[in-house]
Chain A
Amino acid sequence: MHVKKMAMMAILTTLLLIQEQALSFIPNVQFSTLLILLFASTFKLRDSLLMLFVYVVLDSLYMGALNPFYMVPMYLGWATLPVLYHTLIKKHENIYLMATLGLVGGFIYGVIFMPFAVLQTGVDPRIYLMADLPFQLIMATSNFITILWLYTPLKKIYGAMIPKEATQ
């Protein structure tokens, strides 16, 4: 792997972590989905998944919870975004389609945690889903709106600042 690319991946992963912590005072509102889709649009799927792995490990270390019941669903939840982007969206990228992916991603992220919470605490899955629904709605809507408004301008700045060879 090219050194420039490795450095770029490290910087962008740090950015992902910092913005999440900076916005942590507003639950379920963050730019993580927006940034993950932005990174997925320029890096290969393999690289995006690697960045997300580092991000989840760092995030878990920072939060003091190296717990597989949090880390595994968190990774799976975030990894869904680049996987869906590379398999469904990449060839016909459209801002409304991207925003819808963010919207769906908000619900997928919440639902992925359910089996792990059921295994860990024995909670009824229906009750877990009902209790989590408001937070999924908030995350999905904030994903939709941030992608709709910020994806295109951010991608322009991102494209101007980050040389294409640094992501290949």
Chain B
Amino acid sequence: MRKIWVTIGSMVMLAAALFIYDLSLEPNTAGTLTLTLSEAGVLVQEADHAFTEDDTLYTLLERHYDIECADASYAPSEACEPLSLSGVEGRILMHVNELETDWVTSYIEISVNGNKANYGIDQLPLKDGDIIDLNAVSLDE
């Protein structure tokens, strides 16, 4: 009986902790942002996109670009399913149009207004007028 209560207690604590984490994330505002794609810091594409409060960077990318995200084995997948069953979605972006990374020797770095982003494509708060850069970085260089 004690084990059951301890298990329920630990699951409730996990749910509460994840809920508080979710609350700590900044909410989105609607507007327009500029999205740039770069390869090793060299600009390859630039476009403006309107977004709503319900959008995330992921939904914007999915709507306007050809993207692939990591699956559970870190292989690129068009399904782009969130890598979590807990409510905290954590997609890892691997391909965006011509940008291609493999997660092992290269990755896509996200910057917002020139600063490295604190969150990934599912949690990053979007603000009107933001300039978001997706830069394919190679670790071999």
Roughly how many angstroms separate A28 CA and B13 CA in the complex, as a whole number? 17
* Residue contact B107 to A121, C-beta cutoff 8 Å: yes
* Residue contact A141 to B72, C-beta cutoff 8 Å: no
- Interface class of chain A by DSSP: helix
> Is A57's CB within 8 Å of the partner chain B?
no
* Residue contact A130 to B86, C-beta cutoff 8 Å: no
Contacts A27-B72, A120-B139: A134 and B3 contacting too (C-beta < 8 A)? no
- For chain B, the count of residues having a C-beta within 8 Å of the partner chain is 29
**Which residue of A is nearest B22, CB measured?**
A134
* Residue contact B120 to A134, C-beta cutoff 8 Å: no
* Residue contact A134 to B86, C-beta cutoff 8 Å: yes
CB neighbors of B among A118-168 (8 A): 120-124, 127, 130-131, 133-135, 137-138, 141, 144-145, 148-149
Residue of B7, B105, B107, B116 near A145 (CB, 8 A) is B7
Please give the residue numbers on chain B whose beta carbons come within 8 Å of chain A beta carbons, in ascending order. 3, 6-7, 10-11, 13-14, 17-18, 21, 72-74, 83-86, 88, 90, 104-105, 107, 109, 116, 118-120, 137, 139
